[in-house]
Amino acid sequence: MPKDNNAAVCSRRLSDEEIARNFSDMHPPLGRAEALVEADRCYFCFDAPCTTACPTGIDIPGFIQKIRSDNIAGSAHTILRENIMGGMCARVCPTEVLCEEACVRHTHEDKPVNIGLLQRYATDPVIDKNITLFERGPESGKRVAIVGGGPAGLSCAHRLAMFGHTSVVFNRDEKPGGLNEYGIAAYKTVNDFAQREVEYILAIGGIEVRNNVSLGEDFKLSDLQGEFDAVFVGFGLGSVNDLGLANEDVEGVLNAVDYIAELRQAKDKGNLPVGERIVVIGGGMTAIDIAVQTKGLGAEHVDIVYRRGPEHMGASRYEQEFAQTSGVKIRHWARPSKLLTGERIAGVEFERTTLDKDGKVTGTGEYYSLNADMVFKAIGQSVSEETLGAVTGTLDMQSGKIVTDDHRKTSLPGVWAGGDCVYDSDDLTVTAVQDGKIAAIAIDKYLREESNNG
């Protein structure tokens, strides 16, 4: 068994200059000349496959055409009218498997138009200067409760404001923004962009945010149904899945989500303790984000271990390659079988895996071990028990998530839902924004019909 080494976990592994460099903007923004050159590469397809591939349906050729004519505000309006979080999505959206993969220039001989960076070029100036592109609609007198201050909830609130309705956002965190504020790698969203985008969204008016309040602890769904004309539920996922192994609570075994949140809120990233040898268990974006960031804090060896092959990973091929070029080693076809511990974590034993005839992961009986002084769990999230207890029995649920129709309507009268808490969600910011928008349109129709019938 590997020996304990408490000294292996410490802060200040790198100089301030090295940390600043490691956490600088992952994709530096385009200058005007660069943006015009990139915009000229667009074919402006009439039946644009990139627009079809965008979950929010942004008119991509339309906004790029406006960039060519230096109409930046008009370009931003084209983006934000469909995706009010177009600025953040330009940074975190997996464009390489959505709009850019669908680009007709994406061939063996050519590369796709860099839609993500062009979207950022258009939206950043509008958000930075707080340029008003959307006005609140005439006051309707209707009030909507929104549970969750993440992308789904804020998107819903903004669209409702455009319709003239008032929203109250019940947010469990100290700041609104959800995973955009707490769950995305720091090098993807620098200079406090997440909060600047939130401020831009709230500037439309008619949106009240109440922080540090949680469904199931501070209020119930039934409370909101009695007080408000409609309810939108978008509380996300609050619990990290466990490994199901003995000694999982030993010192040094951490939730990746919690560490990323702490890192995002840290005024001095160098103060965070980090180990020499890191093992990350999982294959999604959270696994990539925690691995790259601990490497950026000075960890010497960082391994991601995933139970299937690279083609099965939730993280895109681009993100996998980014991790590898950042010094992270990705090991496939292995699952954790035992945590090696003393006073704290010392390593992890893994069993090699394969697929059986039914395509399910099964162990081979072969084992190997990796030394580790920090182990991060990144095997997915689920709705927290407290929140689940507040909705179970009242909403139709499947696999611990809320079931909705195509309009994001739940089984309860006057209640809609969207984002990660909804069954069959793909856990993308852009999808959550679309959920909020679709729900707001449906809620507006419902409220107007109610008024007409009343």
CATH number reported for the structural domain that contains residue 109 in this entry: 1.10.1060.10
Same domain, 276 and 371: yes
Which of 52-66, 78-92, 333-347, 439-453 is predicted with the least confidence, judged by mean pLDDT?
Answer: 439-453
**Domain extent for 356:** 240-380
What does the pLDDT read at residue 388?
66
Looking at residue 47, the DSSP 8-state letter turns out to be T
Q: Are 432 and 442 in the same domain?
A: yes
Instruction: Answer whether residue 16 is part of any domain.
Output: no
The mean of the pLDDT values for the chain is 94
In the three-class reduction of DSSP (H, G, I as helix; E, B as strand; rest coil), residue 368 is classed as strand
Q: Note whether 257 and 311 are same-domain residues.
A: yes
The reported pLDDT for the residue numbered 385 is 65
- On whether both 336 and 423 belong to a single domain, the answer is no
Q: What's 400's domain CATH number?
A: 3.50.50.60
pLDDT at residue 4 tops 60: no
Whether residue 148 is found in the same domain as residue 228? yes
Of 427 and 32, the structure prediction assigns the larger pLDDT to 32
* Cα separation, 417 vs 156, whole angstroms: 10
Section 118-145 average pLDDT: 97
**Average of per-residue pLDDT across 110-132:** 97
What is the C-alpha separation between 134 and 116, in angstroms, rounded? Answer: 22
Nearest 5°: CA angle at 195, between 193 and 199?
115
Is 234 in the same domain as 244? no
Which residue, 380, 414, 436, sits at the end of a domain?
380
Give percent above pLDDT 90 in the chain: 88
Residues 6+ apart with CB under 8 A from 212: 171, 172, 173, 174
* 402-408 contacts at long range (C-beta below 8 A, 24 or more positions apart): 402/233, 406/438, 407/438, 407/439, 407/441, 407/442, 408/435, 408/438, 408/439, 408/442
Q: Does residue 14 lie in a domain region?
A: no
Closest CA to 126 of 166, 52, 73: 73
Q: What percentage of the chain carries pLDDT values higher than 70?
A: 97
| pLDDT > 70? residue 6 | no
Tokens 């991060």, residue?
A: 376
121 contact partners, CB below 8 Å, separation of at least 6: 29, 30, 35, 67, 72
pLDDT tier, 241 (very low <50, low <70, confident <90, very high otherwise) = confident
Cβ-contact 248, 145 below 8 angstroms:
no
Q: Is residue 26 part of a domain?
A: no
Q: How confident is the model at residue 115 (pLDDT cuts 50, 70, 90)?
A: very high
Residue 9 belongs to a domain: no
CA 380-382-384 angle, to 5 degrees, is: 140
Report if residue 227 sits inside a domain.
Answer: yes
pLDDT at 454: 60
Q: Is residue 8 part of a domain?
A: no
Whether residues 98 and 149 share a domain: the answer is no
Collect all residues with Cβ–Cβ distance below 8 Å to 400 and sequence separation of at least 6: 382, 383, 388
Strand 345-355 and strand 361-371: pairing?
Answer: antiparallel
* Residue among 226, 80, 235 nearest 153 (CA): 235
Note the pLDDT of residue 2.
40
Task: Dump pLDDT digits (tens) for 170-204.
Answer: 999 999 999 999 999 999 999 999 999 999 999 99
Give the pLDDT of residue 1: 35
SS3 of 153, please? helix
pTM of the model as a whole: 0.93
Q: Are residues 110 and 86 in the same domain?
A: yes
Given a contact cutoff of 8 angstroms between Cβ atoms, the answer to whether 248 and 450 are in contact is no
Number of domains making up the chain: 3
Lookup: tokens for 397: 């649920």
Boundary of a domain, candidates 358, 380, 402: 380
CA distance 277 to 290: 13
pLDDT surpassing 90 at residue 445: yes
Neighbouring residues of 7: CB distance < 8 A, sequence distance ≥ 6: none
What residue ranges in 85-176 does DSSP mark as E strands?
A: 143-147, 166-170
Task: Locate 106 and state its tokens.
Answer: 């994406």
CA distances from 182 to 57, 261, 294, 305, 384 (A): 26, 4, 16, 24, 17
Question: Same structural domain for residues 99 and 85?
Answer: yes
Same-domain pairing of 249 and 362: yes
Answer whether residue 453 shows pLDDT above 90.
no
- Residue type (1 letter), 18: E
Contact 87, 197 (CB under 8 A): yes
Residue 264 included in any domain: yes
Instruction: Place 3 in a pLDDT band, splitting at 50, 70 and 90.
Output: very low
Residue 125: per-residue pLDDT: 97
Residues 279-310 have pLDDT tens digits of 999 999 999 999 999 999 999 999 999 999 99
Residues 6+ away with beta carbon under 8 Å from 334: 305, 306, 307, 350, 351, 352, 353, 368
In a domain, 252, yes or no: yes
328-331/345-355 β-pairing: unpaired
Residue 452 burial by Cβ neighbours in a 10 Å radius (0-12, 13-18, 19+): exposed
Res 95: pLDDT: 94
If asked whether residues 346 and 256 sit together in one domain, one would say yes
Boundary residue ending a domain (352, 380, 408): 380
For residues 257 and 375, state if they share a domain.
yes
